[in-house]
Chain A
């Protein structure tokens, strides 16, 4: 006997994400979900980004890692409020789910901020599947990774609104084909802006900061 069900498996997460989105909209907070593989320079990119946007854009960060509060400690030196989530409490999850973000957001004064950055767990697979109630998703890719990452992980590059190509200061020392990675990104998501920059030197940050500021200001 067949019983029709027709339910999305991620229904619970999607419902929670919509509640988050409503809460963030009421509080006029723009939420940016930052994803990448481990070691692409997410944290350094965010440290540099914060140094360019505060105090103009009042910001806070939620950092997701399986273990340690190393990234939170680094980001706290920028002066913004930081909440660390360790997913080993939630079974060592490889991504941040909507309910985890909601719990972390409760520890922040949302009335005092315009921008909430969520640094997701380093992973190009699972975070792409989980809505957390964000306004925009970005992916950070670095030139020390393979040029074919965008075509190996198409869902990640499809769901994002912008991509950052980091560590361009290393290009002179690498056999990296910059055109190839840009073509691969364009193949997977032709309309997505790509910001080529170096979080270490600050090169290339202007277009990225302008994009971020304009997106935040459109909401608040």
Chain B
């Protein structure tokens, strides 16, 4: 639902990351990491990005989204596992005291400029 605002932030960060003197080189791709637990719908985000990037240096760039799985670690028995269902209890000892190691990401990792 808030993908429009997120797309706007992505465009701002990506635009400000283009090195000085390279503003005229088209941006081919923006690489993004989105955790499975974050409340972002990749298709909606791509749609918003496409519309908002018109008339910016990112116009026509591909938004490449790497989905990061939800990894958890048990604070009791130190067991690590991937969460695929909404069950946040240790798979090994059933403890509820767990830590989410990954899955909340919403990060820009890099931008790719066209090679001339």
Contact = CB atoms under 8 A, between A and B. Distances in A.
- Give the residue among B40, B107, B115 with the most A Cβ atoms within 10 A: B107
B113 A1 contact: yes
A130 B2 CA distance: 10
B14 A5 contact: yes
A12 B89 CA distance: 32
A158 interface: yes
A60 B10 CA distance: 35
B71 interface: no
A3 B37 contact: no
A187 interface: yes
Contacts of B107: 6-9
A33 to B, nearest CB: 15
Interface residue tally of chain B, by bracket?
35 or more
Given A129-B2, A187-B88, A189-B88, A5 B109 contact: yes
A128 B38 CA distance: 9
A164 B112 CA distance: 47
A93 interface: yes
B39 A1 contact: no
A128 B39 contact: yes
A182 interface: no
B110 interface: yes
B106 A5 contact: no
Interface string A1-28: 1111111111110000000000000000
Given A3-B112, A9-B107, A190 B96 contact: yes
A49 to B, nearest CB: 27
A3 B2 contact: no
B13 interface: yes
Contacts of B88: 154, 158, 187-190
A94 B86 contact: no
Contacts of B114: 1
A155 interface: yes
A125 B87 CA distance: 18
Nearest to B14: A5
A65 to B, nearest CB: 15
A88 interface: no
B2 A126 contact: yes
A95 B109 CA distance: 26
Nearest to B88: A188
A129 B112 contact: no
Contact of B109 (A4, A12, A97, A150): A4
Interface string B23-63: 00100000010000111100000000000000000000000
Given A186-B96, A190-B88, A191-B96, 13 more contacts: A1-B112, A2-B112, A3-B110, A7-B108, A9-B108, A95-B2, A125-B39, A126-B1, A129-B40, A158-B100, A187-B88, A188-B88, A190-B96
5 contacts: A3-B19, A3-B111, A11-B13, A12-B9, A187-B86
A-B pairs, 6 with minimum CB distance: A190-B96, A154-B86, A151-B86, A126-B2, A94-B1, A9-B106
